[in-house]
Amino acid sequence: MPALALSRSIVGCAAFVFCLGFLAPVPVSAQSGSLADAYKVIAGKEFVDLSHSFSPVTPVWGGFGQATMSAASDPKTHEPYTIEKQGFRTTFYSMVGQYGTHIDPPAHFDPDGKTMDQIPLKQMILPLVVIDETPLLKAEPEHALTVADIEAWEKEHGKIPQGAFAALRTDMYKDWDTDPERFKRYPFPSWSLDAIKLLFEQRGVTAIGHEALDTDITEKMESETWLLSNDHWQIEVMANLDKVPATGAVIVVTWPKVENGFGFPARAFAILP
CA atoms within 13 A on the CB side of 90: 8
Please confirm whether the linkage preceding 187 is cis (ω < 30° from 0): yes
| CATH assignment, 47-55+98-271 | 3.50.30.50
Q: Using one digit for the tens of pLDDT, what is the confidence trace for 173-222?
A: 999 999 999 999 999 999 999 999 999 999 999 999 999 999 999 999 99
CA distance 246 to 169: 10
- Amino acid identity of residue 255, one-letter, is W
pLDDT at 177: 95
Nearest to 64 by CA among 190, 198, 214: 214
Between strands 249-254 and 47-49, the pairing is unpaired
Please give the DSSP secondary-structure letter assigned to residue 80. Answer: B
Percentage of residues of the chain with pLDDT beyond 90: 88
Please say whether the beta carbons of 250 and 269 come within 8 A. no
The DSSP string of 31-72 is HTS-HHHHHHHHHTS-EEE------TTS---TTT---EEEE-
More confident residue, 112 or 32: 112
The model's pLDDT over 72-127, given as tens digits with 9 standing for 90+, comes to: 999 999 999 999 999 999 999 999 999 999 999 999 999 999 999 999 999 999 99
Confidence of residue 31 (pLDDT cuts 50, 70, 90): low
